[in-house]
Amino acid sequence: MNSKKILIVDDDVAILNSLQVLLDFEGFEVVAFESGSQVFKWVENRSVPDAILLDMWLPDEDGREICKRLKKLEPTKNVPIIIMSASHELEKTAIESGANAFLAKPFEIEDFLGTLQRFTE
């Protein structure tokens, strides 16, 4: 059993649910949110995740800004953050915001799991 804790932030409930089912099946402990503001409240009151999957386009705040803020906080500054977006041309700005990796949606499950496992092994 993996038992690594993964935090997912995506406002698309179908994607959130799909990733949660997949990661549960792979043995990860999953915490899912639909908005970026929930992440900061959760991090303040709970343990730090092993990795964060972050959608770039969220209703309350841009994923890149959330990434920058998380990388400045002591508890989360070393947590790997993978930014996901349907906008393929935004990989450079995602990485510049401090993300450890970028995944273009839609992605292959094998690519997704491979990227995540690189940061959680």
Alpha carbons 121 and 108: distance in angstroms, whole number = 20
Query: How many C-beta atoms surround the C-beta of residue 114 within 10 A?
Result: 10
Instruction: Look up the CATH superfamily of 5-120.
Output: Response regulator (3.40.50.2300)
Q: Are 39 and 33 in contact (CB under 8 A)?
A: yes
**pTM for this entry:** 0.93
Residue 110 has pLDDT above 90, yes or no: yes
pLDDT 10s digits, 49-84: 999 999 999 888 899 999 999 999 999 999 999 999
- Dihedral angle over CA of 13, 107, 37, 12, nearest 10: -20
* Distance in angstroms between the alpha carbons of the first and the last residue of the chain: 12
